[in-house]
Amino acid sequence: MTSLPYAQTVTLRGRRPRDLPVLRRWLADPLAEWRKWDAPYFHAASTTATLQAYVERLERTPTRSDERVIDVDGECVGMVNRSQEEPAGGGWWDLGILIYDPAHWNQGIGTQALSLWVTATFDETDAHVLTFTTWGGNERMIHAAQRLGFQEAARIREARMVDGVRHDSVRLDLLRREWTSSRESPQSS
């Protein structure tokens, strides 16, 4: 694993009231670029309705421990989330990450945010294994996870249809001991 240089300060934090307009703008826009990469195989109309309901929930409820804002130099640029796979207490957590504005892509922000989220999830839960699921066309996300030590655990061939083209569904995983070991060994540059 290599160390990555970051020009920005990336942190994860709870949602603040000032984040809501940013989140509302990005989540409510049916033409936002991020939608082409985050599960684009779901029907746009149902996704829009789901996201509108999600924005309404964000406006009504405080931050939950299973989601955080990705903050870059004081600005909300995305969110991370996690959910426990059944049965509860089994030690399997699935992670998600989304950076809304393409201006923040390809700068290592997602990799750093995912690294922080992996650390937080292992620190705050009983997680034994973390998974991350995406589609084969989202190569940036697959590479970010692999840079952190995630390994491909499953590939369901041609399971997702995006713009008339079949893509694989890809699930990556990372064990707690692998993460701990990678943090204890000297980093190469």
Mean pLDDT of 103-123: 96
Average pLDDT, the chain: 88
Q: Which residue has the higher pLDDT, 98 or 188?
A: 98
Q: d(Cα 16, Cα 87) in Å, to the nearest integer?
A: 32
Residue 74 in contact with residue 19, Cβ under 8 Å?
A: no
Q: In the structure, what pLDDT confidence band is assigned to residue 10 with cuts at 50, 70 and 90? A: very high
Q: d(Cα 11, Cα 16) in Å, to the nearest integer?
A: 14
Q: Which residue has the higher pLDDT, 2 or 138?
A: 138
The per-residue pLDDT for 187 is: 59
**Sheet strand arrangement including 92-99:** 10-13, 67-72, 75-84, 92-99, 129-135, 165-175, 151-162
Q: In the structure, what pLDDT confidence band is assigned to residue 26 with cuts at 50, 70 and 90? A: confident
Residue 173 in contact with residue 153, Cβ under 8 Å?
A: yes
Which tens digit of pLDDT belongs to each residue from 64-106?
A: 899 999 999 999 999 999 999 999 889 999 999 999 999 999 9
Q: Which domains does the chain have, with CATH numbers?
A: 10-184 (3.40.630.30)
CA distances from 111 to 50, 122, 133, 147 (A): 26, 17, 15, 8
Q: Is pLDDT at 178 greater than 80 in this prediction? A: yes
Q: Is pLDDT at 22 greater than 60 in this prediction? A: yes
Q: Is pLDDT at 58 greater than 90 in this prediction? A: no
Q: Is pLDDT at 1 greater than 60 in this prediction? A: no
Q: d(Cα 109, Cα 101) in Å, to the nearest integer?
A: 12
Residue 36 tokens, joined: 């082409």
Neighbours of 97 (CB within 10 A): 22
Residue 183 tokens, joined: 């943090």
Q: Is pLDDT at 37 greater than 90 in this prediction? A: no
**Sequence-ordered strand ranges (E) for 64-150:** 67-72, 75-84, 92-99, 129-135
Angle formed at CA 19 by CA 64 and CA 146, multiple of 5 degrees: 65
Q: d(Cα 33, Cα 55) in Å, to the nearest integer?
A: 18
